[in-house]
Chains A and B, each alone.
Chain A
Amino acid sequence: MIATFDVIDIRKDFPILNQTIHGKPLVYFDNAATTQKPLSVIEALSQYYMEFNANIHRGIHTLAERATAEYEATRDKAKDFINAAQREEIVFTRGTTEGINLVAQTYGRQNLKAGDEVIISGMEHHSNIVPWQMICEEKGAILRVIPINEQGDLLMDEYEKLLSEKTKIVAVVYVSNSLGTINPVKEIITKAHQYGAKVLIDGAQASAHLDIDVQDLDADFYVFSSHKVYGPTGVGVLYGKRELLDAMPPYQGGGEMIREVSFGKTTYNDLPYKFEAGTPNIADTVAFKAALDYVTTIGKSVIGEYEHELLTYATESLQSIDGLQIIGQAKEKISVISYVLEGIHHQDIGIMLDNDGIAVRTGHHCTQPLMDRFCILGTSRASFAMYNTKEEIDRLVQGLYKIKKKLG
């Protein structure tokens, strides 16, 4: 355990941060898109290929057994990371998007019928909109949307009005990638369950910042991606309650997911393998464990506290800029700040900041309906991780002042 959080020590673990962009030290504020990786993750990836690359589960030789053990160790770690009850409830996917599609195409297809309703919120990422639109269209079900207010909070009383016996699935984002809003997902789940609906929580943005306890939340499904939690790209986790996963049909057919195959009839493997057809992304899954270890060792409460300090500092600093408006001022936020500068296009901001070595994201952040809600085409967004500093925020503010002077 690290006794006190020291960002200078943390930064030493992330070699990518130590570089210049266009002659200036890199400031990486695009963490909501993907986080950088600590050395331990990079080394775990390299070690896998240097020492024990083999196909998992069916091999009888030593390398295959070691690869299998390491791959399955990540499953155990992921189970602890979100406090799932059983390791069989952890399904590896390619990422959050695939997890949502899996649930929509299996649970959704099996359980939705014409006239049923699926509820999402007005701040969903396209990944948690389109898969539900697709299955609703196929089944003749109806997609309902919980509206949000000017601050970027969900209107919970409107949510309650949407709930009915027709509600079969509620799919809501834990933390908004565009606004930073932390949604009251536990309350959302409790209310949905009163109508017998199942709830999927999109944990893509939440999982690196908040302590996740799927049992306490009583979430039916919880999905997140490794690459937003300091791990490699191309791996994600779908958590599902065992009885639900058991009853669901497989998503894809192929190797790994079968028990016996004949041309007449195939029987399927047990959980979680039923949902893991084909050779999985072994290397990245193995290295994902190093990322989860890294975050757990420092402790999310310590990380969260530091990131909150950054958020408060950045919010105050940015608000001092005349003509800057922060989009998303929810009561509970993680370290994401979306903003618009009066009269200046977000693309210009992105290009100019990049020239100063500062990486932010600009555009609609894959949340076009949300941008429509605020009557804007896009924002620029600074999202902070544990390795960012107040000095870097100062550089962002200076950069924005310069842009204002040139373009305002």
Chain B
Amino acid sequence: MTINEIQDEIIDEFSLFDDWEGKYDYIIDIGKKLPPLDSQYKTEENIIKGCQSRVWLHAEMQDDKVMFLGESDAVIVKGLIGLLIRVLSGHSPEEIAKADLYFIDRIGMAQHLAQTRANGLFAMLKQMKLYALAYSTMSN
């Protein structure tokens, strides 16, 4: 699936909920199911600044694709990481770097949470794009 196909799938899933209570339950569920990050990746340099909770993000290249792993000590943020990983992990650096993540807006998350720096959603996204950019520069 392409990045946009995955985004459309997520938008469809979220359209089943008519309030944020349901959306949060879904995000929490994703958070709870996100596999724990191996402790070797929970390093100071993998911590994303700008989040109220601690967020770790690890990226590595596998067969020309960027694979992301992440975790947080807060569940909702973990769910958000899970969503971002589902959308971006396993794609080429170029695809990730130029991806327009419209699903954040379309599921209403931007309006609901992203205004405060607390959730760190955009900090995570920025970091993922930076990794992709770095990998695409390396491969060129």
Interface, chain A (partner B; CB < 8 A)? 22-23, 344-348, 350-352, 355, 362-363, 377-378, 406-407
How far apart sit A20 and B37, CA to CA, in the bound complex (Å)? 39
Please indicate the chain B residues that have their CB under 8 angstroms from the CB of A378 in the complex. Answer: 52
How far apart sit A377 and B52, CA to CA, in the bound complex (Å)? 9
How far apart sit A246 and B32, CA to CA, in the bound complex (Å)? 62
Flag if B19 contacts A348 (CB, 8 Å): no
Flag if B76 contacts A351 (CB, 8 Å): yes
How far apart sit A371 and B113, CA to CA, in the bound complex (Å)? 25
Contact with A along B46-58 (1 / 0, CB 8 A): 0000001110000
Q: Which of B52, B75, B77, B118 contacts A407 (CB under 8 A)?
A: B75
How far apart sit A351 and B21, CA to CA, in the bound complex (Å)? 11
Give the number of residues in B that approach A within 8 Å (Cβ atoms): 18
Closest-CB distance, B90 to chain A (whole angstroms): 28
Flag if A362 contacts B52 (CB, 8 Å): yes
Closest-CB distance, B21 to chain A (whole angstroms): 7
With known contacts A362-B52, A407-B75, A347–B118 Cβ distance under 8 A: yes
How far apart sit A362 and B73, CA to CA, in the bound complex (Å)? 14
Please indicate the chain B residues that have their CB under 8 angstroms from the CB of A351 in the complex. Answer: 24, 76, 113, 118-119
Please indicate the chain A residues that have their CB under 8 angstroms from the CB of B54 in the complex. Answer: 377
Instruction: With CB as the reference atom, state the residue of chain A lying closest to B53.
Output: A347
Please indicate the chain B residues that have their CB under 8 angstroms from the CB of A350 in the complex. Answer: 52, 118
Please indicate the chain B residues that have their CB under 8 angstroms from the CB of A377 in the complex. Answer: 54, 73
With known contacts A347-B118, A350-B118, A378-B52, A406–B19 Cβ distance under 8 A: no
Please indicate the chain A residues that have their CB under 8 angstroms from the CB of B20 in the complex. Answer: 22, 355
Please indicate the chain A residues that have their CB under 8 angstroms from the CB of B53 in the complex. Answer: 345, 347
Known: A22-B20, A345-B75, A407-B28. 12 other contacts (CB 8 A): A23-B19, A345-B74, A346-B74, A347-B53, A347-B118, A347-B119, A351-B118, A351-B119, A362-B52, A377-B73, A406-B25, A407-B75
Closest-CB distance, B108 to chain A (whole angstroms): 11
Please indicate the chain B residues that have their CB under 8 angstroms from the CB of A362 in the complex. Answer: 52, 118
Please indicate the chain B residues that have their CB under 8 angstroms from the CB of A406 in the complex. Answer: 25, 28
Please indicate the chain A residues that have their CB under 8 angstroms from the CB of B74 in the complex. Answer: 345-348
Please indicate the chain A residues that have their CB under 8 angstroms from the CB of B118 in the complex. Answer: 347, 350-351, 362-363
